[in-house]
Amino acid sequence: MIEVFRSRRARRVRRAILRLRADLHAVDGSGGGGECINWPVVLLEQSAWVLVLLRSGDALFELTGRTFGTRRLLRGMFSIDIWTYGIGGGLRMPHPFNIVIGEGVELGRRCLVLHNTTVQRGAGTIVSSDCVLGAGATVLAGSVIQRRSIVGAGAVVHGAVPEGSVVMAPGPIIQRKRNEYQKNRDRAWRN
């Protein structure tokens, strides 16, 4: 039983490390396509330091059940409160200041989160893959944002946002039509 527990814990730590790798590839602009991370670019980015603190805290929590102050460092240095461990790889935070992501929130892969963004806590709050949360955006508890959606600056989301939509403040949800370029790009990502 102890071996099973250790291997499960090891898989979770490995997952946190792989997510950090995807995050750093997103920071250096390679998108994970290259083998090596461009360290001079990454070390000068503030968002890289935020992501290292976030993912190392995740790995430490999986190993020991404690984050050893990494969340406090995020809060003190960048005013970032992240209360969830459900954040996919490839996260981008170009301006990592005043961001709140509540407990129970699921944030998909390759998301872009700008400054002054709040995602309220709640078990049903989901931001799917490839979404953009603009500066000052607020996602209320229980909201579901589908893939490739954009939440504009200062917008407030309550409820469901369909795939590929744009939410502006103030205003309705605008559904974008996918062109041939986007369809071909999506096919290439799947393969």
Q: What is the distance between the alpha carbons of residues 125 and 108, in angstroms, rounded to a whole number?
A: 11
pLDDT digit string (tens) for 80-104?
999 998 899 999 999 899 999 999 9
Among 3-7, 74-78, 166-170, 187-191, name the most confident range: 74-78
Q: What gap in Å lies between CA 190 and CA 81, rounded to an integer?
A: 33
Domain residue spans of the chain:
2-175
CATH 3.40.1160.10 fits 2-175, yes or no: no
- CA contacts within 13 A on the Cβ side of 190: 6
Higher pLDDT among residues 190 and 95, named by residue: 95
What residues pair up with 139 in beta bridges, in sequence order? 119, 157
Give the torsion through C-alpha atoms of 55, 117, 31, 128, to 10 deg: 90
What CA–CA distance (Å, rounded) separates 149 from 50? Answer: 24
Could you give the maximum distance between any two Cα atoms of the chain, in Å?
A: 55
